[in-house]
Structure 1
Amino acid sequence: MSRPSLLILTLCLALAACGQGAKDSKVSDKTANVERPLQITAEDYVTIQNNALASGPVITGSIQPERKADLRAEVSAIVMQVLKENGEAVRKGDLLARLDDTSFRDQLASSEQAARAAQQSLDQSERQLERLKTLRASGMTSMQALEDAEIRRNNSQSELVAAKARAVAARQQTQRTEIRAPFDGIVSERKVSNGDTAQIGKEIMKVIDPNSLRFQGLISADAVTSVKAGQAVSFRINGYDQQFIGKVRRVDPAANATTRQVEVLVDFVGKDQPHVSGLYAEGRIEAGSTEALTIINSAVIRDGDKSYVWAVQEGVLKRVAVVLGERDVRRGDFAITAGLQKGDKVLRQPLSTFKDGTKVLFVASAGNAAAASPIPAAASNVAASVPASASAPASATGK
C-alpha cells in the first residue's frame, strides 16, 4: 500500500503546481495589459503664455555691396595680361590687368619731345626780346622789331602750353592701359582673358568690398507709412542656416515704375554678416508689437493645411487642432488664434508614436521616474493604479 500512496501524492503535487502556474500566468497577462503612463519632465513641455509678437511688412531682396566698382576699358587695345582671378583679395592700387601700351608709349615720347622743343623755342624768344629791349633803349632798333619779338615770345608760350597738354593726355592714355584696384576688396567677376580686344567701355573686372554688404529689399507700397529709418529687421539669407538682424537705414522716396514697390536699405547689425553678395534674402520689418498666445515651431505638427499639437489635459495626452496666426520675426514662434488657452501644456518635441489618450506622469527628471510631481492629481491617481509587478513606465525623453 505504500507504493500506490506515494504515486498518488506525487500526482497531486504535480497538479497543484500546474494550477498555480496557470494562475500566475493569468495574473502576468493581466498586468501586461495595463497601459503604462508616459513620463515627461519640465524639459519636455512648454506652457502656453502671452508674449510680445513682432509685426510688420514683409521685405524681400538681395545682399549687395555698398562699395563696388565696374572697371571698364578706357582705351582700345589688346589685353596683354590678367593678373587677378575671381575671389582674389586686392589692395588699393594693385595691378589687375595690363593692355597693350606700345602705341601710347610712342605718343607719350613724341609729345614730351614736342614739349621740350616748345620750351627751348620759348627760351630763345625771351632772350631775343630782352636784347631788343636793350637796343631799343639806346635807339638802335625800331619799335616794330620789338613788337615782333613780343609776338614770337607769346606764340612760343602758347605752343609750350599746348605741347604740355598733349604730353599729359598721352601720359594718361598710357596709364589707362593698366587696370588697377580702386579700393581694398575682392575680385568678384573677371570678364576678359589674355588676347582679348578691349574696346572703349568694355567691362574688364568687378571689384567689391565684402565688408560693405547690405540688404537691399523691396516692400509693398501699402506699407510705406509704417516703415521708418532705425526700425529693426529680421531676415534670412539663402545658403545660411541662421537669422540675421538689421536696421533700416533709409526708405527710397520713389517707388519702382513697374512693380510700384519701394526699396528699403537695411544695414547689418552685429558681427554676423555674410561674405557672398547677390544672395536672395527675405524677412520682416519690426514696425510694431502685439500681445498674443504663442507656441514654438518645434511643437507644431503639420498635416496638409491643418496644424496639431500634443497637449497634456486632465492627466492624458491629447492631439489638439490649432489655428496659427503670424510668425514672430525675432524668435520664429507662431501666434495661436484658436485651439489652446493660456496655461496649457504642450510637448516640445512630439513623436510619431504618441497615441491619443495616453496617460501622462510628470516626473522631477528624466532619470528619476519614481519622484512624481504633484502638478496634476489625475497623473498621481494613474501612477497609484499601476500594479507593483508592472514593468517600468515609458519616458517621453527616451532616457
Structure 2
Amino acid sequence: MLRKTLLAIAVATALAGCNKSDEEAKKKEAAAKAANITLQVASEDTLVVQSTGLASGPVITGSIQPERRADLRAEVSAIVLQVLKENGEPVKKGDVILRLDETSIRDNVNSAEEAARASQQSLDQTQRMLERQTTLRSSGMVSSQALEDMELRRNTAQSELAAAKSRLVTARQQLGRTVVRAPFDGIVSERKVSSGDTAQVGKELVKVIDPASMRFEGTVSADKIGVVKVGQPVLFRVNGYPGQNFAGTVKRVDPAANAVTRQVEVLVSFAGPSQPRVAGLYAEGRVESQTSAALTVPQSSLVQAGDINYVWRVKNGVMSKAMLGIGTRDERTGNWQVLSGLAAGDTIMRVPGSNFKDGLKVAFIAPKVVKPAQAVASAPAATVADKKE
C-alpha cells in the first residue's frame, strides 16, 4: 500500500514538472512573438514635440451681466391694473409693459386744468381793468395809486397763472407715469408685481435687460492686479456652456479694491459675436497677461493615471513610455505644459493605444505617391472630353 502511494506521488510530481515546463515554454514563445511584432504607423499618427507660446496670468471669476439694464420702479402710488409682458418676452423701446390705476391722478389733472383756466380768466380780467385804468389816468380821472394797485393785481394774477400751469404739468406727468414703458430694446428679465398689487413710490416693478450687451464682470485677487492692464486678452468658460471657451478683452479695472474680500473688479467685454444670452451665469477664466515659451503636449496624447502622467515616445524605431512632469493647462489650445520627461524634437504617439508596450518596434508607412498616369485615368470623363474638344 505504501509503495502504491509513493508511486502516485512520483507520477503527480512528474506531471506538475511537465506542466510547468510547458507554461514556461509558452511564455517564452509568446515573448519571442511579441519581440518580432512591428507596429505599422503613418506620419499623421505621431507628432513632434515643439516649443510653443504658453499664456499665463491671474485667475478671474465672476458672472455674466448685461451692460444695459434698467430696474423700472413705481413713480406714483397706485394699484397695478394690467401686466402686459412676462419674463423672457422681448420688448421694443416705448412698448407698454404695465399699467397703473390712474383714477385719482386723473382727478388731479382735471382739478389742475380747472385751476389753470380760472387763473387765466382772472389774468384776462385784471388785464382789461388795467387797460381801462390806464386810459382814465391819461385823462386825469384815476389817481396814480389806483393805477399802481391795478398793476399789482395784474402781476399777482400772472404769478397765479404760472403756478397753476406748473401744477397742471406736474399732474400730467404723474398721469403719464401710470404707464410703464420699455426704455430700450431688450427682454423682460424679472417681473416683480402682478395685477392687483399696490405699488408704492420706489417699488421695483420690472427689470429689462439688453442681451446684446453682455459682459464678464469678474474679480481678481489684489496681489495679482498689478499685471492686469486694459486691453489684455481674457479666455474664460461660462457655466451652462460646457466645452466652449469665450474670448474677451479687459475693458476697465476698478481703481478700488473691495473692503471685505480685498478683490478688484475687472470688466471684460466679449471679443467676438459668440456670447451667452442669459445673465447671471457663473464664469471663470484667466487674464493672459504673460506669454512664455514652453513644451506642450495635447490632451489626446497624455495618459493620466492618478499622479502618473506619461506619453508613448518613439525613438530609433522603438516605442517606450516617457514619464512626464506637467505644469499648467493652456485654456486656448487645451495642451499641457511639459516640465520634464521630453525634449524639443521628440516624437510621440498622437493617440495612445491599448496594445502599446515598452520595446514595441515601430515602422513608418511611406505615403503613397500618385503617378501622373493614374491621376489622368482617375480624372472625370467630362474633363477628358473637354480636352478632346
Q: How does the TM-score come out when normalised to structure 1?
A: 0.80
> Which residue, 302, 305, 328 being the options, matches 1:303?
305
Partner of 2:25: none
**Structure 2 SS opposite 1:249:** strand
**Structure 2 SS opposite 1:64:** strand
CA distance in 2, matches of 1:187, 1:246: 26
CA distance in 2, matches of 1:359, 1:195: 82
CA distance in 2, matches of 1:273, 1:81: 34
Segments of 5+ residues of structure 2 without an aligned counterpart are 1-28, 369-389
Partner of 2:10: none
Partner of 1:245: 247
User: Aligned letter for 1:56?
Assistant: G
Partner of 2:272: 270
CA distance in 1, matches of 2:270, 2:234: 9
Partner of 1:391: none
Partner of 1:180: 181
Partner of 1:387: none
Contact 1:75 1:177 in 2 (8 A): yes
Deviation for aligned residue 1:353: 4.9
Partner of 1:232: 233
Partner of 1:129: 130
Aligned length: 339
> Which residue, 330, 333, 341 being the options, matches 1:331?
333
Partner of 2:69: 68
> Which residue, 280, 284, 287 being the options, matches 1:285?
287
CA distance in 1, matches of 2:306, 2:175: 68
CA distance in 2, matches of 1:32, 1:59: 54
The more displaced of 177-186 and 220-229 is 220-229
Deviation for aligned residue 1:33: 7.2
Deviation for aligned residue 1:31: 9.7
| CA 1:232–1:33: 2 relative to 1, 3 Å | same
Partner of 1:139: 140
**Structure 2 SS opposite 1:34:** helix
Contact 1:78 1:99 in 2 (8 A): yes
**Structure 2 SS opposite 1:230:** coil
Partner of 1:371: none
Contact 1:59 1:282 in 2 (8 A): yes
**Structure 2 SS opposite 1:111:** helix
Deviation for aligned residue 1:311: 2.2
The more displaced of 165-174 and 39-48 is 39-48
> Which residue, 342, 346, 350 being the options, matches 1:348?
350
Deviation for aligned residue 1:77: 1.2
Deviation for aligned residue 1:257: 0.6
Deviation for aligned residue 1:107: 0.7
Partner of 1:164: 165
Contact 1:286 1:329 in 2 (8 A): no
Contact 1:48 1:344 in 2 (8 A): yes
Partner of 2:222: 221
CA distance in 2, matches of 1:364, 1:59: 48
CA distance in 1, matches of 2:356, 2:117: 96
| CA 1:192–1:364: 2 relative to 1, 3 Å | farther
CA distance in 2, matches of 1:147, 1:42: 110
Partner of 1:192: 193
CA distance in 2, matches of 1:100, 1:61: 41
**Structure 2 SS opposite 1:192:** coil
User: Aligned letter for 2:153?
Assistant: R
Over aligned residues, Cα RMSD in angstroms? 2.1
CA distance in 1, matches of 2:186, 2:326: 46
- Aligned-pair identity in percent equals 61
The more displaced of 106-115 and 356-365 is 356-365
Deviation for aligned residue 1:349: 2.3
Deviation for aligned residue 1:198: 1.2
Partner of 1:59: 60
CA distance in 2, matches of 1:191, 1:325: 49
CA distance in 2, matches of 1:356, 1:172: 85
User: Aligned letter for 2:352?
Assistant: P
Q: Deviations over 1:94-135 (max 9, x none)?
A: 100111111111111110111111111111111110110110
Partner of 1:34: 33
**Structure 1 SS opposite 2:156:** helix
CA distance in 1, matches of 2:175, 2:355: 77
CA distance in 2, matches of 1:51, 1:139: 106
CA distance in 2, matches of 1:353, 1:79: 73
Q: Deviations over 1:5-60 (max 9, x none)?
A: xxxxxxxxxxxxxxxxxxxxxxxxx7997234333222222211111111211111
**Structure 2 SS opposite 1:115:** helix
Partner of 1:19: none
Contact 1:55 1:329 in 2 (8 A): no
User: Aligned letter for 1:291?
Assistant: A
Deviation for aligned residue 1:260: 0.7
The more displaced of 221-230 and 178-187 is 221-230
User: Aligned letter for 2:98?
Assistant: A
Deviation for aligned residue 1:265: 1.1
| CA 1:353–1:129: 2 relative to 1, 3 Å | farther
Contact 1:93 1:183 in 2 (8 A): yes
CA distance in 2, matches of 1:190, 1:93: 17
